[in-house]
Amino acid sequence: MYSAAEDDFIDFLVREVPDGIISPRLAVCKPEDLVEIGGPYGDFCLNESSLVTNSFVFIATGTGIAPFHSFVQTYPALKYQIFHGIRRENEKYDEDHYKVGSYIPSISQPEGGLVGERLTSRLQSTELDVDSLYYLCGNRMMITDAIAILRGKGIPGSSIFTETFF
């Protein structure tokens, strides 16, 4: 989910995968088309009691940024940083919706022959706060690697929450 919890509508962030099962079908939907959805089935949510006392670090690849966009829209006073691993510049989905300086993209395949940066390399070279809560969403390999980096930097497992896809 991409929209805020109290919005009068539901937005989803979906990247079309040409040989995908669902995204090509969604790409041809028009407003007013009926789409049946189920769920949500997970519990990838912010703990209400930690909203005031904690700062958050959101780590995502691609469209895995969707729940973090929803969190930020739902809780405007949230203290957060977002590390976003993307392939290309045009995948900075609504970067202007985030507080200045809180959105940190890592572009692995920039245009113009520039050298890219992987998200995990950025995390490795960044000083991280051991008292923050860490939420990770995206590619399974990124999550596995990021957890190892976080644990190596002294982040306790009880402060790491994940939602994995593909």
Q: Would you say residue 57 lies in a domain?
A: yes
Q: Would you say residue 59 lies in a domain?
A: yes
What residues contact 102, with CB distance under 8 A and at least 6 apart? 80, 81, 82
Q: Would you say residue 132 lies in a domain?
A: yes
Tokens representing 135 are: 């939420």
Q: Would you say residue 6 lies in a domain?
A: no
Q: Which domain holds residue 61?
A: 44-165
Q: Would you say residue 54 lies in a domain?
A: yes
Query: What's the total number of domains in the chain?
Result: 1
The CATH number of residue 89's host domain is 3.40.50.80
Q: Would you say residue 94 lies in a domain?
A: yes
Q: Would you say residue 38 lies in a domain?
A: no
Q: Would you say residue 120 lies in a domain?
A: yes
How much is the pLDDT for 56? Answer: 97
Question: Residue 40 above 70 pLDDT?
Answer: no
pTM of the model: 0.89
Nearest-CA neighbor of 101 among 79, 132, 129? Answer: 79
Q: What is the mean pLDDT of residues 34-62?
A: 86
Report the percentage of the chain scoring pLDDT > 70: 97
The rounded distance, in Å, linking the Cα atoms of 134 and 17 is 28
Question: Residue 44 above 90 pLDDT?
Answer: no
